[in-house]
Structure formats: C-alpha cells, structure tokens
Structure 1
C-alpha cells in the first residue's frame, strides 16, 4: 500500500495517477492505522469546463425585525424569514424597477438564503439583482457594494470581495457594515495583519445594538485565527448572550461548540451543539458538530444519526465529507462511497453557482483520489488567494505526491506564527509532523505529532490512529548524555 494515496485509483479529471515513490517511514504506520477502513476509487470529478483557477432563548422576531438585519449586519436569520423578505422585495422591484435599494436588499437576501440553505443556485439570482442596483445607482451605492462583497465571500472569491468591500468603505469610512466582509476577505487572502487592523477599526466604531453580537462574533473569529482561544470564547459567549433571536443565538452557540471541539473539550462541545439544535433544529453545522463530538465519545450510532440529520435534503459539502470519512473509519466502505458520490454532485452544483471549490476538491483528492491533481489545483488556488487553509492543504497534497521538501515549506506557513499561522489546529500540526517524519526530522516530527494530539486528541476519526502509530514508530526521545562544555 502506498503512503501517498491510501487507495489506488484513477481520477477521471486527471488521467492515470503519477508513479509513486517507494514507501519509507510511514509504510507500517498507515497500513496499521487504516486497516479495515479503505474506500476504493472515490474521486471528486467535475464536469468538463467546470474547473476554476459552505439561558432562556430571546423572543423570536418577525421578518421585518430579523431578516433585514441579516442582509445589513450579517446577523444570522431563519430561512423562512429570508424567503419572506425575498418575496417582499421581488414584489417591490416589479412595481418600482428603478428602486436601487430594493434591488440591493433583494440581492443580499438571496446571498444570505443561499448561504443558510447551502444552495448556490441563489447566487446567480443575487448577482443579477445586485448588478441591477449598481446600474440604477452606481455611485455611492454602498448597500449594493456590501451585497457584492458578501456574494464574493459566499463564492470563496476573496480578491473580488476585498475590492467591493474597500469600495463600500471609501465614501464613508465610519460605515461599519462593510468592515466584516473586508476582514473575511483579508483572511482569505492571507493578509492577517490587515484583518487585525480592520478589526481594531471596527471595534472602535459605535455600532447598532442589533449588530453588536455579530461584531463580537467577527472579533471571535479573528482572535481564534491569532491563537487567542480565551478571547475568542469570551467574545462569542457575549454574542450568544446578547443575541436577538433564537436563530442568531443558535449560530453563536454553534461557534462556541466548534471552539470547544478544536481544543478537544468534548463535553463542552456537545453541550453547546445540543443547545444550538434545541434553539434551531435545522442548524446543520450544529447537527454535524454534535455528530463529530458523539463519534469521538464512542457513541457511534448516535453520531451517525446526527450526521444523517445534518445532510438530509440540501447538505453542506463539508458535512457530507465528514460523514463519509466517519463511515470509512468504521470500515463501512459502501456507505462511505455513497457520501463521496454525493459530494461530487454537491461540488458540481456549487461550481455552477459560481463557487470556488478548488480548496475542497484539493483536500479531497489528496486524501481520497489523485494527489498530483490536488497539487495542480491547490497551486493555482495558492497563487490566487494564499490563506492558511490553502497552505496546509497544498503542503499535505505535495507530501502525498512525494514532494516532501516543498511540502514542509507550506506546512510551515500554516503552523508558524511568524508566517501567519497563529491558529492552533491539530490537523495542521499532524500534517507537519508527518511530513517532518518523512524527511527524517525526528525531533520536530515527534514534537508536532504530540502537539496535534495535545491540541485535540479526537481531531479526525481517520488520522488520529495514524498520528498515534506515527509517534510509536518514531519511538521515545533518545536517552543521551548532555554535551560537554
């Protein structure tokens, strides 16, 4: 079995797989860790032409109080509220086709509904409405520019999101609504210093009371990326306490569950995910998070039930991938392949809606398909928008393709604070440790593998066993005498 690709197979998108190097350090590790959990030939393939270079609950608010806040402030809103707002604005633009604001609100509502429902079919509708708004009133049309920035973020197009968000801020630097999308755009482009400075400016502004929780949630995300875990938790806890609706509160509780999961605190993660589901039964991220925590606790059947609820109907691609990998770790190959088949369909639909899915495709190909195809895609993605996620994915794909020295360069970007990788990620540390082990950098390899398991001992049902086996393979620190003076 090859250490680079756990499963043999050919990617229809890339032709026959490249020759693989002889196995060295990790042969026994992966063979042992993954025994009984191999899925054959699952490859993410796009259609031709689709390649490209998501306390007591406060009282519920009505559509006029909740959904407009979603499109103006980025406050989470329920799908029925957003659909009601869309219907209202569609009626308005039919009667008043020169109403630039109505077109802008309509386009932004389509963006929010597409994100909330994981349905990229809403994005072309959003773009048409927002461009109509800009045509009717281009100069100083901040609402439409905000909407275009939000649409670009939903499509993972960070350069375009940056351009529109900066345009929205130029005429009115005190308008805080555009700061959030600009922070996300800078993060996606790997410009973390600019993201931090933009957050500082946002925190200095006086914000509307309804939007204050969303601002705190944005701050939490930036603090998390800097490795400031306690600060991230504090900001998001405040946001959840001040949320104006159950749906908004559920979104922030889901974020708290994710923060707890990332630090390996299973009881706290499960508590927050379950609280979120009680407030918003359809919150897919919370359902998937609950499944993740339950699986780590050994409550496998409950975990599968929660994951199945998360992917019922319109599903998020990441949740489908996680469920497939959970099945794979359990040796249920047919069920895993079914999820990977579904993932390919979701990716095609997302790409048709204008979403850049190169990162997800690259991650999937590296672990389940053709590693050289993953490298090709992720190199292009890195040139276009070099964020930490892309650095980690490209480093791991290069390792799987046999390019260990170059792989370590990108793995270092993802994990070294001096290079921007302040986030404490067990997966990133694991990837770096494995790459260092292959390069016979025994000390650093042991240190990063131990760090991965210390950050979160449950970070992946597939890779935690591999991390533990790799550490055993490396052995203990040699008992050597101290050097003489």
Structure 2
C-alpha cells in the first residue's frame, strides 16, 4: 500500500508538507527581497481515507511502527477537524504502538498539547529534541507548549530556530500567533498571508484564511472578517471555526437571522462554539435557548474529561460569567498553578473581580497586559476592575481602549462599556490610543499595583505534576 507520509498535526494547526517558499531572518522578521512562487495546486487530504488505508495495512503488518505513528497523526487531525475527543484516545493507542519511533514521540507531544497538558507536551518535545534535534515538527510542539505555559521568551527562541530550519506554513502560523499576542497586527497578517500562499491542501488554506478573519475580527473589522470567513468556507465547507466566525461577524453587522442560522449549524458540527452562541441568544433575550447551549457545554466538559482532555481555562471563563464565580476562581487558580499565560491571568483576574476580590484581581489583570497586546476583552476587564476599585481615570482609559480595539468584542460588553463611560459618543480620535499599554503602564492604569516580570503572588501557586513521565 502506498503510504501517505504526513507530518503530525497539532492543536489548532494544520498539516505539514508545504513547499519552502518564504523566509524569516533570525531576527524574527520576514525577508521582503524574495517573491513567493505560484502556490502549488491544492489537493484534498482526507484523514478518514488514510485511516481506513492504514488500518487495513496494519491488520496485515502489525509491526510497522512508522505506519502506527502515521495513523496516530491522522487520528489527531481527525479530532481537530471533527471536534470529537474520542480520537485522542485512538491517537494515543497508535502512538504507543510506535514508541520509541521519533515520530511517535513527537506525536505524543502534539497529543498532550491537544489535551491541554502543556507541561507534559514540553517533556515529550524535549525528549524528541534530545533524540533527533533536526526533526523540525518537534519545534512546533515545543513552541505551542511554551506559548501556552506563558514562557514567551523560550517560545520566541524555539520558533526562530524552527523558522531558520523550516520556514513553512506551520512556522508562519505560529509566528503570526506570537505577533498577534504582542499587538503587532501588520506582522501577524503578513505571516498569515505567506502561510496562505503556500498552503497545498484546502483545509490548510481554509485554516490560514480563517486566521486572517480572526485577526480582522480582533482588530474590530467585522466586514473584513466576514469576507475572510466566507473565503475559508469556499475552500473547505467543513471548516466549522470559519462558520462560527461568520456567524459572529453577521451578528456584529446586525444580520441576526443569518447569525443564528450559522451558529446553529456550527454547533451541530462541533460543540466548541456553544458558549459563544449561548451568549448571543442570551443577549437577544432567548434565555431558554441560552440555557440549552450552556447545558451542552457542561456535557461536553464531561465528555472531554473522559477522553483525557482538561480545559480549566474554558471552564473558568464559563463559570465566571454564566455559572459560579467561586468555582471559576478555584478552577483558574489550579490552572495558574500549572501555567502563567496571559489568557489564564486575564481569566483569573476577572473571576476574582466577580467574587469581589478586586485588589487581587488587579494584579492578574495587569499581568495579562505584559505583552502589550491588543485584546479588547482584556482591556474591558481591566476597566471594570478599575471601576470597582474607584479608579475612575484608569477605568475610563481602559474601557475606551477596549472600544477602540474592537467595539464588537462580545454581545454585551461594548454596551456595558459605553454605559460605564456615561454613554458619551466616542469618535475615532477619542478612541485611538487612549489607554496605557505594557506592564508598567498597565500598573499605572490599575493603580499602585506591584508587578514585575514574575507572575503575581497569591494562593495556590504550587505546580502539581500532570500526566505521566515522557
């Protein structure tokens, strides 16, 4: 049987195997003196078809460890495309049949990232680097793990090494993510455009264009976002994140019937978007519909846990706004004990605010701005925390900043921000660059809060072990 060799897919990422057409310098920026050639013709890769072929081959050749590793990678890709966490257990079984093959070691790291066990992913990636330092997919595993653990300097270092050795779709999309975290939208967009231009598979192309849509959305341009999501769906009609993004953009543009239709379609394909859809329904006054979506989310959390997936960040965010803020604090303190990312810092700060611990919340909210990114929701949270602390000036600055970044950042948040600002009409000059940025300026915005490069101190800062030894 002709074996299809695909590099291992990672959570939120796409398949490798693209031509090397662009280049990043070691200084972490794109060279502009090269014109990318014409992209290759896109052909579809169907993980389900490969899974059938690989299973048939392995029934006749059960000792073929490389095909077991390939099968594990196909299961991971199928989990990414379908949102079915049952494929994670199948991937684990396939990789374990292949160990200690280096592809299986890298695959175990990718699987750990997909299951949100980033410390375990780091251990698998480190093991792979020790055994085979020139296997480029392992650096994608390490980059993802370091980013999610909040170790951004190490993520930069590993990503630069990957870009030097393999400037391709996988490395470009990761570079775009780091640029976006730092608020460097133009650089993120250029990296994504390079990735899009070399995408060889419709699913890869859709992923890149969807990311461009997400970038436009976060920058407050729902029309550009809608155009990107529509283009992504034209390339791959099964790309559910683009369908959910399309619904979000439609809602922002007042096309509520279209938004509800597309959200309903998206959540039937994947439950990943049920909270987002529930929030829109709640905003529209459909409380019963919102409760149904939230019930689906709670059921999905249990299903994921049964398949080895723990997403305390998603659970904490949900509980802070729609369930028990005290449960949110407990979940997010545990997550903070495992990783110090800006996303966890923001979520924990917001949960602490929701239970009335505003001073402690301010420390985490300030830490969430350590990369000086452009995140409207983070700025809104800082503004509300400042309001609770009676810091009117900093609250005004942060709420204004949130609306300047993206005046559609959530169904209810923008209206609440405007109400807190006194309902005054805000023109573009008032919205541009009004709020402090960066760790030191975040401290100023939030008041006299101690913050340095170390994470905020607080309870439950122990780092419990997760997963087995790699």
Work out which structure has the larger RCO, using CA pairs closer than 8 Å and 6 or more positions apart in sequence.
1
CA–CA distance in structure 2, aligned partners of residues 406 and 213 of structure 1: 40
Matches within 5 A, 1:75-474: 75=15, 81-134=46-99, 138=100, 141-206=101-166, 212-313=168-269, 315-317=270-272, 319-417=273-371, 422-472=372-422
Of the structure 1 ranges 257-266 and 124-133, higher mean CA displacement relative to structure 2 is found in 124-133
Q: Which residue of 2 aligns with 1:49?
A: none
- Change over 3 Å in CA distance of 1:474–1:392 after alignment to 2: farther
Matches within 5 A, 1:470-481: 470-472=420-422
Alpha-carbon contact 2:281-2:290 (below 8 Å) kept: yes
CA–CA distance in structure 2, aligned partners of residues 460 and 309 of structure 1: 20
Alpha-carbon contact 2:44-2:201 (below 8 Å) kept: no
CA–CA distance in structure 2, aligned partners of residues 83 and 381 of structure 1: 34
CA–CA distance in structure 2, aligned partners of residues 385 and 289 of structure 1: 28
Q: Which residue of 1 aligns with 2:6?
A: 68
Alpha-carbon contact 2:45-2:201 (below 8 Å) kept: no
CA–CA distance in structure 2, aligned partners of residues 118 and 168 of structure 1: 27
Runs of 4+ aligned residues of structure 1 deviating over 3 Å after TM superposition are 69-74, 76-80, 473-477
Alpha-carbon contact 2:8-2:137 (below 8 Å) kept: no
Pairwise CA distance, 1:473 = 7.8
Of the structure 1 ranges 67-76 and 260-269, higher mean CA displacement relative to structure 2 is found in 67-76
Gaps (5+ residues) in structure 1?
1-62, 478-485
CA–CA distance in structure 1, aligned partners of residues 140 and 183 of structure 2: 19
CA–CA distance in structure 1, aligned partners of residues 110 and 90 of structure 2: 14
Deviations 1:167-199 (A, max 9, x none): 111123222111111111001110000001111
Pairwise CA distance, 1:80 = 7.2
Pairwise CA distance, 1:98 = 2.0
CA–CA distance in structure 2, aligned partners of residues 178 and 92 of structure 1: 26
Alpha-carbon contact 1:236-1:255 (below 8 Å) kept: yes
Q: TM-score, normalised by structure 2?
A: 0.81
Gaps (5+ residues) in structure 2?
18-42, 431-470
Matches within 5 A, 1:20-39: none
CA–CA distance in structure 2, aligned partners of residues 322 and 203 of structure 1: 34
Of the structure 1 ranges 357-366 and 465-474, higher mean CA displacement relative to structure 2 is found in 465-474
- SS at 1:415's partner residue? coil
Alpha-carbon contact 2:6-2:16 (below 8 Å) kept: no
Pairwise CA distance, 1:206 = 4.2
Deviations 1:213-245 (A, max 9, x none): 222112111211122110000010111122112
Q: Which residue of 2 aligns with 1:41?
A: none
Alpha-carbon contact 1:188-1:387 (below 8 Å) kept: yes
- Tell me how many residue pairs correspond in the alignment: 399
Pairwise CA distance, 1:87 = 1.6
CA–CA distance in structure 2, aligned partners of residues 219 and 475 of structure 1: 37
CA–CA distance in structure 2, aligned partners of residues 83 and 466 of structure 1: 46
Alpha-carbon contact 1:71-1:105 (below 8 Å) kept: no
Q: Which residue of 2 aligns with 1:52?
A: none
Q: Which residue of 1 aligns with 2:36?
A: none
CA–CA distance in structure 1, aligned partners of residues 351 and 169 of structure 2: 38
Q: CA RMSD in A?
A: 2.2
CA–CA distance in structure 2, aligned partners of residues 283 and 81 of structure 1: 13
